[in-house]
Structures are given as C-alpha cells and as structure tokens.
Structure 1
C-alpha cells in the first residue's frame, strides 16, 4: 500500500521547482491513497488553486474533503475547490460552523468559516458530521473529538467564542480533528493545527487505532503558542515514542521548529508548500 502526500498550502515555500509556488497563512494537504484521493483542509483561499495546478493535483479526482477545524485559514479555499468538484462528501466535526474569534489588541476578529453552510451546500458540499472517530476509507480514520486530558496543554487564550447573548468565553475548539493514517511503517498523524494539544492527540490516536508505533507526525502543531513546560513534555513524548519523522507546518512557529530540529536532527523536516511524502 502506497500513500502520497502533497503539501498544497502552508506559511512558507521551500521547494524551488516548480517555480511559482506560493505561501500563505494556512494549511492544506492532498492525499493519494489506494481508496482514492482526498483533500485535508483547503488553506485560506489565496494559494490553493495556483499551487495545485503547479503540483499537478487534479481536484476533479477527489473522493472527499476532510476538515481539521472551522478556522478560515483551513477552510477558506473550499468554495474554489467546490466550483471544480461539484457534489462531494465533506467530513468534519458538527461544530465546524460554530463561532470562532481571535482577540488581538482588544479587538475581536471573526476567524470562522467564511461562508454559511447553505451557500457551500448549494455548490455541492455534502457534509458528513461526526464527533466520534470516523473511518473515511480503509486506513484513513478521522479522529473525532479529542479528549482534553493533558493539564499542560491549555490552548491559545486569544481564541474566543461568543454565547447567544454575546458574552465572550474561551473557545473550546471541540471541532479540532486530526487524521490517523494506518501504514505498514506505523501510524501517520496528520494535523491541522493541533488545537486539542499534540499530547492529547497522540494518546487518542494510539487508543482509537490500537497502533502504538507512530511513523510520522505531520502538520501544524500549535507549539508556537505553548509554554516551556508544554514544549518540553511534547519533545520528550515524541522521543519516547521514537517517532520516525516529524514534519512541522503552519502554527509550529520558528521557535517550535528550531527546537524540534535540534532534538530530532534528520528525522525533522519542514513540511512547506511543495513538499511531497510517499509512504
């Protein structure tokens, strides 16, 4: 069984060929699997069409779209993709369209899905919502809601939601999902932003799949926003599990990427736009 992953949207571009690849704040990964092609997140909408064309990714051949969570930088390209695919199943948590805000300098910014659900459904979005682990296809398991067990993974205090009466409260981001890919080399954990906490996600992955060997962790780890205590615990856990490869993207941040690179050496790589991984 061979699985081919292509990073279509990410904050940076490391690959120089093909020329013209673009970076943006966001994440999207294309998957070619024996069960068909899938898209995990769609970036912010600024680069996905350009990068897909240059990387030879054909959205007409997609079997489904999977969402890690309902932030604009992961869902913003959906409308453009739907204009190509037409009717297509979209797998996500039931809270995908819940209120997501970021508060910076005292101002609230709406960072949720840019369009109403009804608008996307008119374009062909066939939403399949599940808060429980969901097998999208053989060997592809969408995590479902991740239990928040770790006491040191407290999340980003600037991410907020609003009650029906307009009161602000910390966004639980219950819709934060990851994709667990079973391979002959072990489990691949594909992350959007890891808002649920990488330690929580890893433990959940082992529990729901029964697979203790983790071959690769790939995607946004949200370590840019974590405490020193959380960073140390995360590095130690990854080393304890003897993870073969760690591909950092998006919200890992320069500090997180540097510390991962220093700790894991050649096992670490930057999962930037244009990066292709075959398992």
Structure 2
C-alpha cells in the first residue's frame, strides 16, 4: 500500500497573526500535480461564500496566476458560490485561456430546496453570462476529459452499484431570466416546466493517476455514489488500483445498513486511503474509523495530502 504524507496547517504567527482559516459548509480544493519538471494547478469547487474562499486562498498563499484550470463538480451553490466573486476579484491575474470544466448541462439548471410542507426556495444557479463576461472557456465534460494535461474528469457517472441518489434539491429545466440550462439536453417530461428530482447527471469526479500508487478519485459531493464514482474512474482510465478516495461522499443522510454496504465495497475495491470531507457524515466517519482504521484519514480545512 502506497504511503501518503499529511500536512496540517498550523497556528498562524508573524505577519499573519490574528488570522485563521475559515471553515463552512461547502467544498473547495486546491489541486497540484507534478510530472517530471512540469507542475499544474487547478481549483476544484469554490465553497459557499467568497468570504471563506478569499480568506483561505490568501492565507495559504495560493496564487491565482498559477491556476491552470477550474473545475465545478456539480450545480449546488455550496460548491460554486465563490466562483463568480473569485473571477471578479482575480480574473485579470489568471491565464488568458482559463477553462472551467463542468460535468454536464445539468450543472447550469436552476435549483430549488423544498422544505417539508413548505414552498420551494431558490438554491441558486450558475449563470453562464457571468462566465462569458469573465472570458472563461466552459468545457461541458459529460464525457471523460483530460484536465491541464495531468488529471482527468470521469464524465457523467454511470449508476451501476447499490447506490441511489438520496433526496436533495429539485431542478427547474430550461431558461429563465436569461439563466439556466438548455432544455434540448433533457427529456420531454423534464421540459414540462415542473420541478423534477435532482439526479445529478451533471456531476463528475476529478481524478489523477499517481505513478506507482494508482488512482486518486475526488468525489466532491458524491450524489452519484462514491462506489459508482470509483468504478467510473477505473473504467475510463483503465487503471484498476485506487490509491485514495477523497472528498464529499454524501453519506450524512444514509442509514447504517447503506453505510455498511459502502464500507464493505471499499474493502473489496482495496482502496489504500479513505479521506471523507464535507457531506460524508458522522455515521460514515465512525464506521470507517472502526472498520478501516489503517486506511482512514480524518480531514480538516487546510490539510494537504502528498
């Protein structure tokens, strides 16, 4: 089993005294890869608010000018909330041909939260006009695609395991007030104008094939299923060994038997390291600590994995 080095961000001292990293519900990851003398960097997701994103980028000294690609995992606001503000603040410092990889047209739909017995409430929309205005090249990667020459996206994730998309947001298909998703990509039933269950067909996982270790599969929120995401990464890359599975696994609402199935599947896939974040849930963390003690790594904001 390959090793992983874990670096925890410590106490701020010196010129930064009085500052600290911000933690909020959402996800944003800085990815750095090296092949020979060639280094590439990407930002995967952008958190819920620009306040946390800007604070942590600045405190961790991540230079926007060094970013080769942007990736948005899916169309939930807690993953793209900081994107447009970041472009407004830093686009002038970034490379001219900056791409943004999205997993499918579904990413750009209006989304709604419907509380029990309540009325639908907006959960935001990623507006293509903001991206075009910032001169960002949108790549809709519903098929696998190479990212910055080093990583790759799985494309739309096949649903081939026991996993199911648990109830979450609802989707409004079509354009409204100039924003939304192209209805031509959806079924007749989905185009009827009613809110529909969010199956997250636009979600994708970001992956790397690490020399002598295997795949690192980053499931930002895992609506499509952690095991489905890993299997998709193996299928599109041809690499069977999985060094690490990390990110949000969306198991916080899952019952104990479902979590047990997931843990068993991870054992069978022989994943070296399990690094849950974001929406993975306390139940899964307890199960992984108990049943996969040598493979589980607890993650915190501003942790670096090498």
Q: Same fold (TM over 0.5)?
A: yes
Q: How far 1:165 sits from its partner (Å)?
A: 4.2
Q: Which residue of 2 aligns with 1:124?
A: 135
Q: Which residue of 2 aligns with 1:10?
A: none
Does 2:102 match 1:92?
Answer: yes
Task: Name the SS for the 2:281 alignment partner.
Answer: helix
Residues 6 and 165 (structure 1 numbering): CA distance in 2 closer, same or farther, change over 3 Å?
Answer: farther
Q: How far 1:167 sits from its partner (Å)?
A: 1.7
Give me the whole-angstrom Cα distance separating, in 1, the residues matched to 2:233 and 2:5.
19
Indicate if the aligned counterparts of 1:141 and 1:181 stay in contact, CA closer than 8 A: yes
Q: Which residue of 1 aligns with 2:119?
A: 107
The superposition leaves residues 78-134 of structure 1 with CA deviations (integer Å, 9 ceiling, x where unpaired) of 123213134421111232201322222333232243x52112221232111121001
Task: Name the SS for the 1:255 alignment partner.
Answer: helix
Give me the whole-angstrom Cα distance separating, in 2, the residues matched to 1:229 and 1:103.
27
Q: Which residue of 2 aligns with 1:36?
A: 40
Task: Name the SS for the 2:280 alignment partner.
Answer: helix
Does 2:243 match 1:215?
Answer: yes
Q: Which residue of 2 aligns with 1:11?
A: none
TM-score, L = length of structure 2: 0.81
Which shows bigger deviation, 66-75 or 263-272? 263-272
Q: How far 1:15 sits from its partner (Å)?
A: 4.8
Give me the whole-angstrom Cα distance separating, in 1, the residues matched to 2:229 and 2:23.
26
Q: How far 1:170 sits from its partner (Å)?
A: 1.1
Total equivalences in the alignment:
267
Q: How does 1:1-279 map to 2 (within 5 A)?
A: 15-18=9-12, 19-34=19-34, 35-45=39-49, 46-83=51-88, 84-86=90-92, 87=96, 88-95=98-105, 96-105=107-116, 106-113=118-125, 115-150=126-161, 152-162=162-172, 163-184=190-211, 185-278=213-306
Residues 99 and 80 (structure 1 numbering): CA distance in 2 closer, same or farther, change over 3 Å?
Answer: closer
Point out where structure 1 has 5 or more consecutive residues left out of the alignment: 8-13
Indicate if the aligned counterparts of 1:26 and 1:73 stay in contact, CA closer than 8 A: yes
Q: How far 1:164 sits from its partner (Å)?
A: 4.4
Tell which structure's C-alpha radius of gyration is larger.
Answer: 2
Indicate the structure with greater strand content: 1
Point out where structure 2 has 5 or more consecutive residues left out of the alignment: 13-18, 173-189
The superposition leaves residues 236-266 of structure 1 with CA deviations (integer Å, 9 ceiling, x where unpaired) of 1111222211111001011121111222114
Task: Name the SS for the 1:251 alignment partner.
Answer: coil
Q: CA RMSD in A?
A: 2.2
Indicate if the aligned counterparts of 2:218 and 2:247 stay in contact, CA closer than 8 A: yes
Indicate if the aligned counterparts of 1:193 and 1:219 stay in contact, CA closer than 8 A: yes
Task: Name the SS for the 1:269 alignment partner.
Answer: coil
Which shows bigger deviation, 251-260 or 100-109? 100-109
Give me the whole-angstrom Cα distance separating, in 1, the residues matched to 2:219 and 2:143.
17
